[in-house]
Amino acid sequence: MAMIVLHTLLAMDATTIGTFVLAGIVLNLTPGADVMFASACGLAGGWRVGVAAAAGVALGAVLHVGLASLGLSAALLAHPNAYDAIRWAGGAYLLWLAWAAWHAPAPQAGVATIGLGRAVWRGFTTNALNPKVALFVMAFLPQFANPAIGPVWPQVLALGVLFITTGFFITAAYGAAAGIFGQALGRAAQWLGKISAVVFAGLAARLVLD
């Protein structure tokens, strides 16, 4: 897999890759659902949890890029019932996270309220159950592929690796910053779980209603 990605990137035009990376960084710097999720996790559990949540989000993106490169995402999203089922499942999961965050005990400075492994799993599940990520991958990545240099699927895969890598570091920075900020709040930490719950509920509404 790594050799396929490296060989494909070497075959692609450097200007195209540079433009893609720049566009990806700009998109990732714009706070979206991934950033909001990692930040909410960081607020509730500390900077390590925020980074772990970002890692989970990146793993979810790996799944979507892999499916897109195989053409499975297009086949799945062509069926409205399947799209709606995934969308509602993602919304229900986020609502469950909101409920859990609202009822969680107040976080203490430097003490994570959830384990890092669970934070990774939550980030992965949230992103994997968001069909809009699949739509974005299929709409954005192929624009930078060039059929003249070979099959499109390895180019989508290689571009996806670049996008996921830059996205992870940016999202992790947001999550870590939120965690550090949350720990600095001291006595106000009892409200962090409530803030996280509201963010999760808002993400659920956005996923289901948009």
Token couple for 64 = 């979507």
User: What is the model's pLDDT at position 56?
Assistant: 97
**Angle CA 95–101–54, to nearest 5:** 85
Token couple for 52 = 């772990």
Token couple for 158 = 């290689």
User: What is the model's pLDDT at position 176?
Assistant: 94
Residue 79: phi, psi to the nearest 5?
A: -105, 105
User: What is the model's pLDDT at position 83?
Assistant: 66
User: What is the model's pLDDT at position 70?
Assistant: 81
Domain boundaries, the chain: 2-209
Taking only the tens of pLDDT, the chain with its 210 residues reads: 678 778 887 888 899 899 989 988 988 887 788 888 999 898 888 899 999 999 999 999 999 898 888 876 566 656 677 667 777 887 888 888 888 777 766 555 444 567 899 999 999 999 998 877 887 887 788 888 888 888 888 888 899 999 999 999 999 999 999 888 877 765 555 566 677 788 778 878 877 776
User: What is the model's pLDDT at position 180?
Assistant: 87
Helix, strand, coil tally for the chain in percent (to 5): 85, 0, 15
User: What is the model's pLDDT at position 109?
Assistant: 46
Which residues touch 70 (CB under 8 Å, ≥6 apart)? 153
- Measured distance between the N- and C-terminal CA atoms of the chain, rounded to whole angstroms: 35
DSSP 190: G
